[in-house]
Structure formats: C-alpha cells, structure tokens
Structure 1
Amino acid sequence: MTTPTSRILCVDDEPHNLNLLEAILSPLGYVVVKAVNGQEALEKIRTERIDICLLDVMMPEMDGFEVCRRIKSDVLYQTIPVIMITAFADTENRIRGIEAGAEDFISNPFNSAEVLARIKMLLKVKSLNDQLQSAYNEVAKLNTDQAVRSAELEVANLEMKASAAELKAANEELEAVNIELEAFNYTVAHDLRNPLNVVSSYCQMIKELYGEKLDEKCLHYIQQAYEGTLRMSQLIEALLNFSRLTHTELKRKSVDLSSMANEVAGELKGNETARRVEVRIAEGMIANGDANLLRVVLVNLLDNAWKYTGIREGGVIEFGAKDLDGNPVYFVRDNGAGFDNAAAERIFVPFQRLPGAEECRGFGIGLATVERIIKRHGGKVWAEGEPGKGATFYFTLEPLTS
C-alpha cells in the first residue's frame, strides 16, 4: 500500500531511534507501530496489520537478522517488506541481510528523505504484488477443471430430471456465469496495467535523470525493479490472452498442421541457434479448425517440449499423428525432463506448474490455453510422462467434413 494509512512497524531497542522515526513518519499520515525487541516485533506482526517493517540489526537476545528470517519463513507474513537499519557498511553484513530475506537497507544514522523514499517505493511494489496475487487467486479459483466438471455434471443431472425448458434455462444461466467470469478475469488483468506502467516509467526516469549520480548497486536495484515490471507485464498479457480465448470466434477451415509446425520449429531454432535439438515432423497432417488458434496450440506444445529438452544433449522433439477408430490423434513427444503421471491432469490447470518447473521460463498458462482451444474445437487433450525420460501430449480435433 502507498496510501497515508499504511502501517509501519519500527523495531529498535533504542527509544530515541523509535521516537525519531515516528517524528519522520507520523506527520505524513503513516501509522507507526513500535516494538523494542524482536519477540515483541513478531507478536505485533501476528496480531496487527503491518504493511512494512523497519528493523534495527543490533538488538539484544534476538538480532535483526533472526527477526527477518522468522518473518520470511512464515507464509502468512513473508510478503511484508523488511528494511534493515544498520550501522554496518561492510558487504558481509549486507549479504547476511539479503540471505535473511530483507528487501532493502538504510544506514544508521539515517536521513529522513532516504527513509521516506525507500518506504514509498517498497510500499508501491507491495501494493502491485498484492493486487497481482489477488488476481491470480481469483482466476485460478474460477478456471479450474473441477469447476468445469461440476458444471457439466449439473447439466447432466438437469437433462435427466428436468424438462426441456428447465434445461434450456439452466444452460443459459451457466453461459451467463461463464461470460461474467471471463469479463472479470479480463478486467482484473487490464486494470493492473496502469500502476505497473507507473513503476516501470519511474524506474526509467530515475536512471535517465539521476543515473550519473547513483552508484552501481543502486543502479542494479533499479534495473531489477524495472525487469520485474517487465515480467509482470508479460504475465498480465498472458492472462488477458487466456481470457480472450472464450470470446474469439472460431473461423474453421482446412489447416496444414505439418507446415505450421515446421514454421514454429524454425522460429524456436532461430531464437536459440546454439541448441542442437532434432525436430521430427510428419508430413501431410491436415486438420479442420481455426488456423490462428491451432497455431497457438502448436506454439505452446512445441515450445514446452523445447524448454524441457534443454536439460540434456541430443534432445529430440516429434510431432505426428496416429489413427484411432478412423480419426487422427495428434501428439507432440520429447525426451526431456518428463513428469510423474500422477500429476498429468494438474498440468492443465491455470497457473499450476510441475515440481522443478521453476528452472524453466513461463507462467503456467500455456497448457491451460491448449486445453481451452482444443475443447472449443470439440476435441480432447491429455498427457503422459515419465520423470527423466520425457513427455507426450496428445490431442484430437473434430474430423474434417466432406
């Protein structure tokens, strides 16, 4: 939060320092919560709403490093930004603070302008993180397969028990709810762009106006903040694209999946020319569907295979089809990291990522996007994997009509 109602916990065993911080912050409308030792600070955090913590390093019984570690180890409070106040200027103690989880440092004796500037920046970043996390939680809750299956079961029960008129009304109500949820998702993501753009612009402005006056460490922090806004922007864009899939009108036609896959593979190789990955694409795979959306499917599946074959030399990616009762089942297979089949259904849930996926870029939206597009085409998608040996993703589409 960046409003004047922000609550700031000041922790110091010296009453003079606490009074000085209160004199700086209170006139600006901040609510100052005081603690004279680490144990009292942890109790305040558990019992009161705290937006940011100013934490003295040198305290008896429990020093600032230990207090910070305990805050950051608790999932309920680890998002509270911590600014450590220290008389130590050496790198070793700064590193100890970073390892404990501190977001920033202020030298003691401190300058009031510096204190206010650092507090305002961290409160703004916390506000954006809180908004984004809230959006993620809402979208994940509203877009899970479990909710979809529950709705499908409800419709099936209505088909058996209700009249045709009641069933029609239920379907219309379900469709209206889905439209409302999609509109909510779109609005949440869209409204996050403005504050994010403000932070990004300020980072660039600070570098342009004051870059020559700042030391390398300060410039590094500003660059990290700027790169963080870029990643958040990419995530918001992915969220918007995911929401748009429901509203996009399908324009069906004959699509050459083989040619399309070759184009996507060429782009992947062009982006990482040093990678040596063998890509095998079967010829003559023609499908009926929306060319733009099917390209999104191939981009996500082939890019996914490309990422997870990065763990080994001699990566192999294969795109082909096999016959099942006279209809093609398409597949993308790789010999990459693989996954446990017990998690096969979970990988299609928005924002869910497999263990170990932290090492690969992405937000956990790609496979959920694939599933949504395939379902809109009247098909199914599923996956099989084995840890350390690779994964295969299968999908079907409505057959070509004569």
Structure 2
Amino acid sequence: MPESKSAKRRFRVRLRFKFSLIVAFLVALMGMLTLVFFSTMSNALWEEHRQKGLTLAGGLAVNCESLILLNNVAGVYSLLQNAREGDREVVYSFVLDKEGNVLAHTFEGGFPSPLLKAVRHAKKGEIAEKELETEEGLLTDMCAPVMGGEIGEVHLGLSKVFVAGRIADTRNSLLLVTGLVLATGLATSYLFGSYITKPLVELAEAADRIGKGEFDQRISVVSNDEVGLLALAFNRMSRELDQTMRQIGEAREELQKAHDELEERVKDRTLELAIATREMEAFSYSVSHDLRTPLRGIDGFSLAVMEDYGDKLDDTGRDYLRRIRSGCVKMGALIDDLLTLSRITRSQMNKEPVDLSQIAVSVAAALQEGAPDRKVEFVIEPGLRIFGDASLLHAAMTNLLGNAFKFTRYREGARIEFGAAAVKKRKIFYVRDNGAGFDMQYSDKLFGAFQRLHTGTEFEGTGIGLATVKRIIHRHGGDIWATGAPGEGATFNFTLEGC
C-alpha cells in the first residue's frame, strides 16, 4: 500500500513535471510564435510605412509635373500642403527644381538649408530613401524624381514615430497575453494531467505548422475550461495572423498594380506632351512661312493692280481692291496675334522684380502718341511692384490698356484707370474705363480666342488679345475676371501670385 501510494505520488509528480515541461515548452513555443508574429507584423508595418511614402512621393511627383512646367508655384505649394495635412505621418514636403533650388516647401519657419545636404537625391527614374534624425524624431525622406528628374524632384518626410508607437503597443499587448498564457499554463499543470495533454499536443503541432508558414491552422475546442480558452485564443491569433498575411499579400499586389499603372500613365502623359509640342512647333512654322508668303503675294499684286491699272477700273473695282488689301492687313494681324499667343504658352518665364505702374505709364504714353488727336485721362497708381516676367506682363498691360483706349474712342471725357485694392489680405489689380462696356451675360466669352462682343465696324480687333492676357495671368499663378455694363464702361480685375 505504501509503495502503491508512493508510485502514484511519483506518477503524479512525474505527470505534473512532464506536463509542466510540456506547458513550459508550449509557452516557449508560443513566445516564439508571438515573436514571429510580432516580427512579421513589425516588418509589415514598416513596409506599409515605406510603401505609403513611395506612393505619396510618386503621386506628388506626377501631380507636380504640369504645375512645374507651368511654373505654378502656388499650385505646387497647395499640393504639398494638402499632402501634409492629409496624413499625420507627413512631417514636411518640398520640391526642388532641376538646378536643385527649393521651389516650394511646407516648413513654417523657413526652409532649413542643411536639409539639402542631409537628404539623398533621386537617380533618374527611381525614388531614393534615406533615414534622418531630426528634432521630431526619426523620419524617412522619400525623394521622387519629376519627369525622370528632368524638371526637379519631390521630397517627402515621413515620421517613424507613429509606426514605432503602434509596434510598441502591439509588443506590450503580446507580452501581456504571453504572461497570461504562462500563468494559466502553470496553474492548470497542477490541476490537470493527461486530460489536457492531447489538446496541448494538438496545439503544439498546429503552432509548429504555423511556424512553417501554414497560417490557416486551427485546433479543435473540446472543453470550456482554460485549455478551451487557450485553444480559442490560439485560433483567434492564428486567424488574425492568417488575415494579416492575406491583407499584406493583397496590399502588395495592389501597390504593385498601382505602381505599374502610374508608370504607364507617366509614359502616356510624356508622349502626349511631346506630340503636342511637335504639333505646336509645326503650326508655328506653318504660320510663319506657309501662310505669310501667299498673303504677301495677294497684298503685293493688289497694290500693283491698284497702281498700274487703277485708272482703268471703275469705283467698284477700286473698292474691291481696297477691301482685298484691308483683308490682307487683318489676316496679317491675326497671324501675328496667333503667334504671340503660341509663344506666350511655350516661352520660358524669367521672373524678376517688375514695376507694373511704370509699364502702365509707358503703354499709356505709346497709346497717346499713336492717337494725338484723342484726349484721354490716364490715372495710374504709382509704386505697384510685383515679381514676374517683365516681357509677358508688358504684353498683358498693353492688351488691357489698349482695349480700354479703343473702347473709349466715342466717349467724351474718356478716363482710364490702373490701380490695386486690398481684398481679404490679397491685392487685386484693375484696369477700369468709362467706354462702351459690355453685357455681363456674355462675360464668359471675353477671354476665349476669336470671341468678340462688338462688330469689326464698331471696333477693330482679332479677338485674341484677352485670351493672351488670360494665359499670361494664369502663368503667373493668378486669375482674371471682368465686370461691366453697356455704355457704362468695364473693369478688368486680376490677381498675381505672391500679392
């Protein structure tokens, strides 16, 4: 009897010891699986962080292409600011032009020049990455080339603090769960023996398969006690791990698909731009050479007929010749305006300090010199200075003041004003006259090419001038609109970037 009790005691000790060893092994195995899960999840989060940076930087680079080509700095800044405000992980963003100068940035206290030396610049067609240590903590600088780096590059600073925080929270949760599992295992090892050996073995086998990459493993729940809870927890962890790995795989596929589509779109846009440029150049050549030559021939032969055979023609014949020559002059003016519109669209902008008031004074003087019999009062506000392309702004002012001068032709006491007014902390420039005016229901036609609200017999013109002005203002990051009434004059308002 004593031996039997002793044997049972030894059996219970051995069983508990063995079960304790099994529990210890399972806890260690679960710790390993937890570590694998944690490592896998951490890598996935870091990869997600990296892919987000690549996507954001690449998307900004594509969206900035047309804005940089048009030198629309305000549009570039708006894109950068939206990217920063739309994602709390974005610490900063800035754009460099092809010479390496800062075109736009989101730093509130001014651009930190040492950052240019710290970041890694993109190679042609590739996005560069570099980890930086800043006052806000560790971050990743993503550098995406714009049009293969031919016109600049976009830099995006993505904070690592948020990802690190998520990983730390997950680690603490996993440590807590592991601790609870360990405590539960030690307690049940003294209360149960062989009863829970089978499910634990099943759990160990399933965990081993998960460790080999078979994340769809589940174990059967045969009881409602701690072992059952452990099985439920394991199945939940396995299910979540399986879902996470599937989501990671799907996310990688989607990112790759988006990357491929983005590359294809960039290629298509580049090809379209090249085709449009070639067509524009061909058109300009055709206008310059093919159209002018026959036009000069028509005008020249009409003049020869007028001079050599004018006495043999009646009044109707001579009137026809005058109309032909007048049409040639109008056609030549239209060709000149079309070429001007084309050059303004494609020309390189050279920004510098410009005195708009001085430009207005010189244009007004030229207008009065060309029509000395007219009495027009010019009121020009002095000291209106901006930063822009002097030649383009001179063309815009010539068209605006020229229009005002033309449409006040039949007005006694003609008056033309140029000035600026501050509205909501922004300067609005205006050219105002008391001339013929226009009906506001046709205001949407004012700035379209070949659109005229008056007949050629009333006021001459080709209908290109205001379309040219609109393109110049848009290239300077501004907007233009007009107000007026028939017989009461018109006011053309416009804004410019930086004012």
Common fold: TM-score over 0.5: yes
The question of 1:305 aligning with 2:398 is answered no
Kindly provide the amino acid, as one letter, of the partner of residue 396 in structure 2.
Answer: V
Counterpart of 2:414?
A: 315
The question of 1:252 aligning with 2:372 is answered no
Counterpart of 2:287?
A: 189
Q: Report the Cα distance in structure 2 between the residues aligned to 1:341 and 1:176, rounded to whole angstroms.
A: 39
**Runs (4+) of structure 1 moved beyond 6 Å?**
none
Aligned residues: 244
Q: Report the Cα distance in structure 1 between the residues aligned to 2:359 and 2:366, rounded to whole angstroms.
A: 11
Kindly provide the amino acid, as one letter, of the partner of residue 264 in structure 1.
Answer: V
Counterpart of 2:270?
A: 172
1:360–1:175 distance in 2 versus 1, CA, 3 Å: same
1:178–1:340 distance in 2 versus 1, CA, 3 Å: farther
| Gapped regions of structure 1 (runs ≥ 5) | 1-151
CA contact (8 A) 1:322 1:329 kept: yes
Counterpart of 1:360?
A: 459
Q: Report the Cα distance in structure 2 between the residues aligned to 1:184 and 1:262, rounded to whole angstroms.
A: 37
Q: Report the Cα distance in structure 2 between the residues aligned to 1:170 and 1:385, rounded to whole angstroms.
A: 43
CA contact (8 A) 1:345 1:382 kept: no
Deviation at 1:365, TM superposition (A): 0.3
Q: Report the Cα distance in structure 1 between the residues aligned to 2:433 and 2:276, rounded to whole angstroms.
A: 35
CA contact (8 A) 2:333 2:462 kept: no
1:232 corresponds, among 328, 331, 334, to: 331
Cα deviation 1:272-328 (Å, max 9, x = unaligned): 222222111001000111111101000000011111122321121110011234332
Deviation at 1:375, TM superposition (A): 1.1
Counterpart of 1:292?
A: 391
Larger relative helix fraction: 2
Q: Report the Cα distance in structure 1 between the residues aligned to 2:283 and 2:471, rounded to whole angstroms.
A: 15
The question of 1:370 aligning with 2:435 is answered no
Deviation at 1:352, TM superposition (A): 0.6
Q: Report the Cα distance in structure 1 between the residues aligned to 2:498 and 2:269, rounded to whole angstroms.
A: 26
SS at match of 2:305: helix
Q: Report the Cα distance in structure 2 between the residues aligned to 1:358 and 1:227, rounded to whole angstroms.
A: 13
SS at match of 2:436: coil
Q: Report the Cα distance in structure 1 between the residues aligned to 2:283 and 2:457, rounded to whole angstroms.
A: 25
Cα deviation 1:1-27 (Å, max 9, x = unaligned): xxxxxxxxxxxxxxxxxxxxxxxxxxx
Kindly provide the amino acid, as one letter, of the partner of residue 186 in structure 1.
Answer: S
CA contact (8 A) 1:346 1:352 kept: yes
Deviation at 1:261, TM superposition (A): 0.3
Deviation at 1:366, TM superposition (A): 0.3
Alignment of 1:129-278 (within 5 A): 165=263, 168-169=266-267, 171-190=269-288, 191-278=290-377
Q: Report the Cα distance in structure 1 between the residues aligned to 2:456 and 2:318, rounded to whole angstroms.
A: 30
Kindly provide the amino acid, as one letter, of the partner of residue 287 in structure 2.
Answer: A
Alignment of 1:54-69 (within 5 A): none
The question of 1:327 aligning with 2:426 is answered yes
1:276–1:208 distance in 2 versus 1, CA, 3 Å: closer
Alignment of 1:337-348 (within 5 A): 337-348=436-447
1:351 corresponds, among 445, 450, 453, to: 450
SS at match of 1:345: helix
SS at match of 1:274: coil
Q: Report the Cα distance in structure 1 between the residues aligned to 2:258 and 2:380, rounded to whole angstroms.
A: 49
Q: Report the Cα distance in structure 2 between the residues aligned to 1:334 and 1:256, rounded to whole angstroms.
A: 21
CA contact (8 A) 1:300 1:367 kept: yes
1:188–1:168 distance in 2 versus 1, CA, 3 Å: same
Kindly provide the amino acid, as one letter, of the partner of residue 179 in structure 1.
Answer: T
SS at match of 2:340: helix
Deviation at 1:224, TM superposition (A): 2.7
SS at match of 2:422: strand
Cα deviation 1:43-98 (Å, max 9, x = unaligned): xxxxxxxxxxxxxxxxxxxxxxxxxxxxxxxxxxxxxxxxxxxxxxxxxxxxxxxx
Q: Report the Cα distance in structure 2 between the residues aligned to 1:221 and 1:355, rounded to whole angstroms.
A: 24
Deviation at 1:218, TM superposition (A): 3.2
Kindly provide the amino acid, as one letter, of the partner of residue 398 in structure 2.
Answer: V
Q: Report the Cα distance in structure 2 between the residues aligned to 1:383 and 1:215, rounded to whole angstroms.
A: 47
Q: Report the Cα distance in structure 1 between the residues aligned to 2:309 and 2:456, rounded to whole angstroms.
A: 38
Q: Report the Cα distance in structure 2 between the residues aligned to 1:345 and 1:292, rounded to whole angstroms.
A: 27
Deviation at 1:254, TM superposition (A): 0.6
SS at match of 1:230: helix
Normalised TM-score (structure 2): 0.45
- Cα RMSD over matched residues? 2.8
Deviation at 1:220, TM superposition (A): 3.5
SS at match of 1:259: helix
Deviation at 1:385, TM superposition (A): 1.5
| Gapped regions of structure 2 (runs ≥ 5) | 1-74, 84-256
The question of 1:386 aligning with 2:485 is answered yes
SS at match of 1:312: coil
CA contact (8 A) 1:182 1:246 kept: no
Counterpart of 2:139?
A: none
Q: Report the Cα distance in structure 2 between the residues aligned to 1:162 and 1:174, rounded to whole angstroms.
A: 21
Higher gyration radius (CA): 2
SS at match of 2:409: coil
1:339–1:215 distance in 2 versus 1, CA, 3 Å: closer
